[in-house]
Amino acid sequence: MDKKLFHLIPLVPTILMGCALTPASIPPTIALPPTPAVTPLSVSSAVNACPEPSDGMLSLINEPMGYCLLYPDGLFRVDPFETEVCLVLEVTALACHSNVAQIEVSDAAGLSAADVADEVMAEAEIDIPRSTTTVAGEEAIVLDGVPAQDLLRDVLIVHGGRLYRLRFVKPDPSDPSSVDRFDNLYSMIINSLTFLPFDE
């Protein structure tokens, strides 16, 4: 063996040790503040947003159909169908026969409240007084004098893809007490109507 090479062999470990990599310094981990969890509003908690009844009022909460409201004490609630609620003067086998108000919910099928009002007026083939207002934060079309078994005041609202049709049986204009009861019922429902979240 070459004597020069033999003399270099003991130096190899030293050289290799000198070439050893020094671990890079690792910066300390910075703890980030936890992201606050966002909890969706449940229907049960949303019901707390419904108005509280006072003396002479009752609460109507219809969670599946996504609304609640107040109505006068002395009326009875009847649910002939899942999508329909009647307020009646007395409970009979005829369900909504003596109703003074009715709330119907259906698929709006992409129509606006104004579109539905146009259809109602076209079907009635008579001139129906029509106005626009705001109910529960939504545009509402009021048709005053829709022909049916009795003349009706219809309030049409579209919310969340659903059509809400509030129907009120018009009073006998010659009976002041009947007119007062109608006005009280109408204003109480319209002013208290609140929409609730629902599964679309």
pLDDT at 26 (0 to 100): 42
pLDDT at 8 (0 to 100): 43
pLDDT at 48 over 50: yes
The residue that leads in pLDDT, 41 or 146, is: 146
Task: Report, as an integer, the average pLDDT of 35-45.
Answer: 45
pLDDT at 63 (0 to 100): 94
The residue that leads in pLDDT, 7 or 132, is: 132
Query: Residue 152: is it exposed, middle or buried by C-beta count within 10 angstroms (0-12/13-18/19+)?
Result: buried
pLDDT band, residue 128 (cuts 50/70/90): very high
pLDDT at 145 (0 to 100): 96
Pick the CATH number of 59-195 from 3.40.50.460, 1.10.3720.10, 3.40.1000.10, 3.30.230.10: 3.40.1000.10
- Following CA atoms 75, 76, 82, 83 in sequence, which dihedral angle do they give, to the nearest 10 degrees? -10
Residue 195 Ramachandran class (φ > 0 left, ψ -120 to 50 alpha, else beta): beta
Instruction: Decide if 116 contacts 163 (C-beta within 8 A).
Output: yes
Distance CA 15, CA 13 (A): 5
pLDDT at 200 (0 to 100): 65
pLDDT band, residue 119 (cuts 50/70/90): very high
Own/partner contacts of 47-51, CB < 8 Å, gap of 24 or more, are 47/196, 49/194, 49/196, 50/194, 50/196, 51/192, 51/194
Of the ranges 25-34, 57-66, 127-136, 147-156, which one carries the lowest mean pLDDT score?
25-34
Q: What pTM, to 2 d.p., does this model score?
A: 0.76
pLDDT at 56 (0 to 100): 95
Percent of the chain with pLDDT over 90: 68
Of 127, 128, 156, 153, give the one whose Cα is nearest residue 141: 156
Task: Report, as an integer, the average pLDDT of 66-78.
Answer: 96
- The tokens of 191 are what? 């002013």
Domain boundaries of the chain, sorted by first residue: 59-195
Amino acid identity for residue 163 in this structure: L
The residue that leads in pLDDT, 181 or 27, is: 181
